[in-house]
Every structure is written in structure tokens, then in C-alpha cells.
Structure 1
């Protein structure tokens, strides 16, 4: 069965974006971007909310046509275009680029998606991840901690009163100082 992997970059103080959705503090170099591409290329789909999807759809469909985006950026454009995408939105009426619009996080539907053949599913976005977590649907947390304190912004993990024991399954340090932390649910 496929896993749902919450895949997110955050500052050392726990934010995924600064004020006004600012992410210019991310330290993604060629090494890290190539690693992301390698990992994401084997995924079976991306699960995103409307805002994340629209931000991606505004840039990635044609990013590889710009000579300034050669190498890993151009490679990711191809991965993104070809990857099945599931966008959770109550308001989005139309989406291109191999995208299915889903209106609600329905646990039975998510479990049915997990049972389909293919690679694991990459979950992005704090709000959508909070909905998945509330339904106990996240199998793995893959966190990329960037070596920066930004002081304020959107937290990666919203406040909740549920205890979720996790088991460390891997770490990796990149040249920029970014650290990957992989945690699986301790009960699986």
C-alpha cells in the first residue's frame, strides 16, 4: 500500500513561510534540488491545497523553457507536469496539468487512493496536512530544516492536542546546512 508522506521545508523555528507567504529564505541549491527531483520522480502523485497548487501551476508548466532554469529546475518542471496531482479545494473550478480536483478530505476516499498501484503520495501544505492529520492519514513526515530563524510566519504544525508517536527512520545533511529528517508513525 502506498504511503502518504507530508513533505515540507521549514525554518529552524518551525515556520514553512514567512509573512506574506515569503519563502526566499529557503536554501535550495543544485544538490538539494537534485535530491528532491530524485525522490519526487518515484512518487505516485502530489496532494496539495489550492494555494500551493496555483503557485506551482503559475511557474512549473513552462519553467524548463527558460534557459535560466537549466539543470534540476528544468528537470523538476518535467516531473511536475507529468505527475498526477490531487488538489483539495472547495472553490477551484478548473485545473490543468494532470490534476484532479477533490472537494473534501474524505478518509475512505484517501484510503482508496492509497490502495491504488503506484508510488507514494507527497502531501504538501500545512492546512491540508492538518486535515489529513486530524483523520490520521499521514504515514511519514519528511521535514527539511533550513538553517535560518525567521521569527514569525505560518507554522508547519498547527496546535493540536493529539499525541502522535513517531520513529526516526532517516537523516541527511546537505552542503547548505539543510537537514532532512524522516519520521514514520511509531505504530505502523
Structure 2
């Protein structure tokens, strides 16, 4: 069975994006960017909601061809293109690159993918992650908390019907005060 992790940058007040999907507050340090790149390199399958897919797929397929690109960005772009992806959406009709589109029930498909053999899976996009969270499918939560309050926007966590007990398994501080906290769900 595959492990499913929900990992995102988050503001101290719990948002993954400010209003109008503004991510300007979450520009990573070089060390944090390398952490994300290594994570992408180790991901067996990435699950994306539509909005996150559109943001990532509009930049990373050709990011390594931009003028003045850094070696770290070249590496990330290559890793991102190589990583298998599943995009969940009922509003788009096609995806490209190393991705496939699922238009049906996300929870059913995520449960099926978890039951397969293979490397670890990451889920990205707050709406998609919320469905998996409510269904009890997420095994690990990784919050990269930035020292900023954005006031409102898209929240990392959704409302739940029941408690989810977690065990803290890692903490790490990055430059600029970003704090990684990694929790595993308890059975």
C-alpha cells in the first residue's frame, strides 16, 4: 500500500494561498527550494487538483529554458516533468506531459491508487486534499509554515467530522523562519 502525504507551504494563520490565489508570501529560500526539489524527485506519483495543476503546468514544463535560470530550477523542472502525475478535474478536458486526467470520483480513485504497489504519493491542492482528508486517506501531513499572516484565502485544513490523531515525527527550521512540521496519522 502506498503512503499519501499532503505537503504545502502554509501561512502561520493556516492559508496555502492569500485572496486571489496570491502566493507571493511563500517564495522559498534556496534551501527550502532544494527540499521541495528533493521531495519531487522522491515522489512516486503526484495527485493534483485543477488549480494547482494549472499553476504548475503553466511554468515548470519550460522553466529550465528561461533566460538566467539557476541550476536548482533546471533540476526541479526536470524532476517535475519526470514525476508521474494524476490531475483531478471535472472542468478541463485534457492534460499533457507525464500526467493523466481523472474526471470521476476523486476519493474512489485515490483509494484505488493507495492500494496499488509503488512509491509514495503526494497530494497537492487544498480542495482535492480536503476530500482525501475527510475520507481518511492521508497518512502524513507536512506543513512548511512561513512567518506571515495573510488574513484570509485558501485554508490548508478543511472542516472535519471527527478528530484525526497525529504523531509529530520531524521538525526543521529553514532560513527566513520557515518551520517544517511533519506529522503521521495514528491508527
TM-score (norm 1): 0.94
Query: Is this contact kept in 2: 1:49–1:88, CA < 8 A?
Result: yes
- C-alpha distance in 1 between matches for 2:5 and 2:63: 25
- Aligned-residue offset at 1:108: 4.6
For residues 125-178 of structure 1, the C-alpha deviation after alignment (integer angstroms, 9 at most, x for no partner) is 111011111211111001110011111211111223321111111111111211
For residues 51-75 of structure 1, the C-alpha deviation after alignment (integer angstroms, 9 at most, x for no partner) is 1101111100000011322122221
SS in 2 for 1:81: helix
The residue number in structure 2 matching 1:65 is 65
- C-alpha distance in 2 between matches for 1:82 and 1:105: 26
- Aligned-residue offset at 1:112: 3.0
CA change 1:52–1:111 in 2 (3 A) is: same
Query: Is this contact kept in 2: 1:168–1:184, CA < 8 A?
Result: yes
* Mean CA deviation greater in 93-102 or 155-164: 155-164
Query: Is this contact kept in 2: 1:27–1:178, CA < 8 A?
Result: no
The residue number in structure 1 matching 2:16 is 16
- Aligned-residue offset at 1:124: 0.6
RMSD across aligned positions (CA): 1.4
Unaligned runs of 5+ in 1: none
* Mean CA deviation greater in 65-74 or 127-136: 65-74
- C-alpha distance in 2 between matches for 1:104 and 1:5: 21
CA change 1:65–1:106 in 2 (3 A) is: closer
* Mean CA deviation greater in 8-17 or 157-166: 157-166
The residue number in structure 2 matching 1:95 is 95
Unaligned runs of 5+ in 2: none
- C-alpha distance in 2 between matches for 1:159 and 1:111: 20
- C-alpha distance in 1 between matches for 2:120 and 2:87: 16
- C-alpha distance in 1 between matches for 2:165 and 2:37: 29
Following TM superposition, the consecutive aligned residue runs of length 4 or more in structure 1 with deviations greater than 4 angstroms are: none
Query: Is this contact kept in 1: 2:47–2:86, CA < 8 A?
Result: yes
SS in 2 for 1:131: helix
SS in 2 for 1:54: helix
CA change 1:170–1:140 in 2 (3 A) is: same
